[in-house]
Amino acid sequence: MLLDQSPPRIPKVYLAAPLFTQHERRWNRELARRLEQQVACSVVLPQDFKVGDCKNHPKHFGEIFRLCIEGVRDCDAVVAVLDGADADSGTCFEAGYAYALGKPIVGVRTDYRAQHERGTNLMLARGCHAFVRRPAFDEDLDGLVGEVARKLKRLLPR
């Protein structure tokens, strides 16, 4: 009997989050880096998708959309950052698509403003398989990442 000698597969996590300001992009990158360390996974950052020689040219929007769809489809789980007075529309779409595909979703909300449930829209809150809510007054990024990592580990395939 031959034993499988292939290395274990590293889970892939898609980070759905607003990515329009320098602050958002840097925070996303730091969250991704820390999750990769704590969960032993690979994090897909859509903000890094590049077509041709640029990241955000209107002539490439169709290709960027396709890359995002493939990223969600090919991942093992999604982390969706649901901050803002109203969660980012692209993030909401990615979370909804992941839900429709049966992908586990960890919702993250650090915004202290409350809406319906878990501080966000009830459709988003109920669509997440796990949720981390740490209002912005708690600036402990290590604690936030640790909590997200614990929830991801429970949801990822073993």
Confidence band for 115, pLDDT divided at 50, 70 and 90: confident
> Would you say 156 and 132 are in contact if contact means Cβ atoms under 8 Å apart?
no
Max CA pair span of the chain = 59
Question: Percentage of the chain with pLDDT > 70?
Answer: 95
Place of tokens 């602050």: 23
Q: Each residue of 85-109: pLDDT tens digit?
A: 889 999 999 999 999 999 999 999 9
Closest CA to 93 of 113, 78, 108: 78
Q: What is the pTM of this model?
A: 0.91
**Strand order, beta sheet including 77-81:** 42-44, 12-16, 77-81, 105-109, 130-133
**Distance from C-alpha of 68 to C-alpha of 94, rounded to nearest angstrom:** 8
Q: Each residue of 59-71: pLDDT tens digit?
A: 889 999 999 999 9
> Would you say 142 and 149 are in contact if contact means Cβ atoms under 8 Å apart?
no
> 12-155 has which CATH code?
3.40.50.450
pLDDT of 44 higher than 90 = yes
Q: What is the domain partition of the chain in residue ranges?
A: 12-155
Closest CA to 89 of 14, 145, 19, 152: 19
